[in-house]
Structure 1
Amino acid sequence: MHIGVTLPSRTGPIASVGEKARRAEEAGFHSVFGYEVYRNPFNLMTAAALATERVTLGTGLAAAFSRSPFEAANAAADIDDISGGRMFFGIGTGVPEFLRAFHSTDAKHPLGRLSEYIDVLRLSWEYLATGKSESLDGQHYQFVAPPINPWGERELPRTSIPIALAAMGPKLVELCGQKADAWIGYFATTKYVNEFVRPHLEAGAKKAGRDPSEVQICAEAVCSVSPDRELAMSRARKQVGFYATHPAGAQVAAMHGLEDAVTELRRNFAREGIAAFERTDDRLVETLSITGTPEEARQKLAQYEGVIDHLVLHTPYVPPIEAEESEDAFANILDTFGGIARAAEETSAVGARA
């Protein structure tokens, strides 16, 4: 199992992103991830690429519906170029509220739009590399290579970049099995992955005539670790609570019989706003995150071995967590899991040579 970490970047100077990525690489992590919260994840991964030599650079996630697929393909190709082929392109629809408020669009018809979006991404890379490609005349997107290419081809480290699709609903998970290189999600408990994600990935792969093993399972797991257990729990309550109120997060909680905790959390959130997350039910935290003292957190991580291919430890960052707290939480993740991550990479390298 590869182990990565998200770089805290909602607040604090964006110039520090590269330094954090370098620290994660030196600690032994396989990957570093950035996310789209007021900051462009492609810019974050560019900063990380310039400061590192080995780690995989993941967008987890970049919003698809706020940018054209050709623009996204070009941005991903830039990072792949700068990094020498280390880009891991995680995409999702984008937050519906943000799409409406800021981008003059919406998240309607996600299945058809994402299906065509993935097709256009790959056609875009083919066109950039060769100056030629097939056309696509879809219901939501069109791609037509001009009859004359005045710019010539673009040198790319790879003609196709791995695409990870954020999918929590059954039909989107099936689409992932049909077309994507990886599934990426959150609250990915072993029960959820084994009983929900895998069956739908396999169904989608079967429709496309693919081997399900071609689709990597990647998960961003909320991780809050500290020698001070209550401090770790406090940070995790805010992050887990924020995610649990969303329908996709609530779905995983329901699978574990925690509907009552989500209902109470939503009721409190409607009355109090984000302050309600400070009282998130500890059952949600214990079930849906890797939280506790370093020893407890290492034990919880071990349960994902053989279930998740690529586990990304997600640093708490949501309000009211401030930049200094996120930085401390990130440092604790590096200290707690760096040795495990490095050992996992060494084992993987030995297996690849065998």
Structure 2
Amino acid sequence: MKLGLQLGYWGAQPPANHRELVAAAERSGFDSVYTAEAWGSDAYTPLAWYGSDTERLRLGTSVLQLSARTPTACAMAALTLDHLSGCRHIVGLGVSGPQVVEGWYGQKFPKPLARTREYIDIMRQVWAREAPVTSAGPHYPLPLDGDGATGLGKALKPIVHPLRNDIPIFLGAEGPKNIALAAEIADGWLPLFFTPRLADQYNGWLDEGFARAGARNTRETFEIAAVAQIVLTDDRDAAYAAIKPFLALYMGGMGSEDTNFHAEVYRRMGYSDVVDEVTALFRSDRKEEAAAIIPDAVVADSAIVGDEAHVREQIGVWEAAGVTTMLVSPGSVAEVERLASLIQ
């Protein structure tokens, strides 16, 4: 089992201690550090900023939003960071949801699986640098032609020669089809609300992708880097209470009332009634009540809360379920060091 430091995206202000956390992760033997983006801070700028202080940590995004960049722009950023870091970059991608894609980026959301497939194909063409990059579309046609175009577009190869033509791509995926797609065309899967209890279900979806013609990896070469809320404490009640507002936001407040992919994850986990109640309260601006009604068992299903013995045991359970890296979010240098000691 490996550990990754999940820095996430910023709140109202930049976090004050992320540089110290990254340095501690490097010293303590963490495998990687990850940044994210929503509709505030971007993922690449802080990753490059903090990554410049490191020599060994892999530098990942969990996740970049597809609609924030054209595939060639994303490929340019990736090959640039891969050069600067000495081949330590992992490109973590996700489609986000229609509320963000259409409301923030002004892009169309439909056909997310087809868009993802086309996007990754273009990125790998850029890194291969074997020929000018072209795409028949329909989502990212290159060169652009047709209505509204000048017709002067030219297929190009990147000026910079990439260090690698196989920069790893991980997909943030929550639904069965997207998880199967990750196994088929990507190098890893980034689950957000992972529960070892459903390992057989996940494996079935992954195996579908591995079995497809031309699949890029096998189970032995595929990575699963799962977000893992680990809280070392003797006061589980307090820890559960602190986690519940986060779950209420993702379960009841993300996306729209009818289209919330995070909520669907919890429905597949068997908590449809909880999701309905949380959503109704959260969208009635009763956020504290929404968090309060979430049972402790729902939190415990995808988080590890307890003393060192319990946490060590559960890390083993997650590893047996197929997870290769646990993405954790310690709040202090001491927590970074304590977590690292549990897997050594």
Whose helix proportion is higher, 1 or 2?
Answer: 1
Determine if contact 2:6/2:327 at 8 Å carries over to the other structure. yes
SS in structure 2 of the partner of residue 164 of structure 1 = strand
Within the candidate set 47, 50, 54, 2:49 is matched to 47
- Measured in 2, the distance between the counterparts of 1:216 and 1:108 equals 28
Within the candidate set 260, 267, 272, 2:280 is matched to 267
Written as runs of structure 1 = structure 2, the 5 A alignment for 1:1-354 is: 1-7=1-7, 9-11=9-11, 12-13=13-14, 16-37=17-38, 38-127=40-129, 132-133=131-132, 135-144=134-143, 146=154, 153-195=159-201, 197-210=202-215, 212-213=218-219, 214-245=221-252, 247-279=260-292, 280-315=294-329, 329-331=331-333, 333-341=335-343, 343=344
Residue 24 (structure 1) shift: 1.3
Residue 20 (structure 1) shift: 2.1
Residue 8 (structure 1) shift: 5.2
Residue 263 (structure 1) shift: 2.0
Residue 85 (structure 1) shift: 0.8
Count matched residues. Answer: 324
What code does the residue aligned with 1:167 have?
A
Determine if contact 1:221/1:290 at 8 Å carries over to the other structure. yes
Residue 134 (structure 1) shift: 5.3
1:324 equivalent in structure 2: none
Residue 78 (structure 1) shift: 1.8
- Measured in 1, the distance between the counterparts of 2:113 and 2:305 equals 34
Q: Could you say if the C-alpha distance between residues 334 and 161 of structure 1 is closer, same or farther in structure 2, counting changes exceeding 3 Å?
A: same
Determine if contact 1:34/1:58 at 8 Å carries over to the other structure. yes
For the aligned residue pairs, the C-alpha RMSD in angstroms reads 2.6
Residue 222 (structure 1) shift: 2.8
Residue 9 (structure 1) shift: 4.5
Determine if contact 1:4/1:310 at 8 Å carries over to the other structure. no
- Measured in 2, the distance between the counterparts of 1:230 and 1:4 equals 26
Determine if contact 1:18/1:50 at 8 Å carries over to the other structure. no
Determine if contact 1:225/1:332 at 8 Å carries over to the other structure. no
Determine if contact 2:89/2:167 at 8 Å carries over to the other structure. yes
Q: Which runs of 5+ in 2 are unaligned?
A: 144-152, 255-259
- Measured in 2, the distance between the counterparts of 1:23 and 1:106 equals 41
Residue 80 (structure 1) shift: 1.1
Q: Could you say if the C-alpha distance between residues 74 and 266 of structure 1 is closer, same or farther in structure 2, counting changes exceeding 3 Å?
A: same
What code does the residue aligned with 2:198 have?
Y
Determine if contact 2:36/2:43 at 8 Å carries over to the other structure. yes
- Measured in 2, the distance between the counterparts of 1:209 and 1:66 equals 28
What code does the residue aligned with 1:45 have?
L
Determine if contact 1:92/1:167 at 8 Å carries over to the other structure. yes
CA displacement 1:323-344 (0-9 Å, x = unmatched): xxxxx73546414311134x2x
- Measured in 2, the distance between the counterparts of 1:296 and 1:240 equals 22
Q: Could you say if the C-alpha distance between residues 97 and 134 of structure 1 is closer, same or farther in structure 2, counting changes exceeding 3 Å?
A: closer
Determine if contact 1:222/1:288 at 8 Å carries over to the other structure. yes
Q: Which runs of 5+ in 1 are unaligned?
A: 316-327, 344-354
Structure 1, 272-281 or 24-33: larger mean CA deviation = 272-281
Determine if contact 2:247/2:291 at 8 Å carries over to the other structure. no
- Measured in 2, the distance between the counterparts of 1:55 and 1:204 equals 29
Q: Could you say if the C-alpha distance between residues 224 and 329 of structure 1 is closer, same or farther in structure 2, counting changes exceeding 3 Å?
A: farther
**Normalised by the size of structure 1, how large is the TM-score?**
0.82
- Measured in 2, the distance between the counterparts of 1:153 and 1:283 equals 53
Determine if contact 2:20/2:333 at 8 Å carries over to the other structure. no
CA displacement 1:230-266 (0-9 Å, x = unmatched): 4322221122232333543334433443222222211
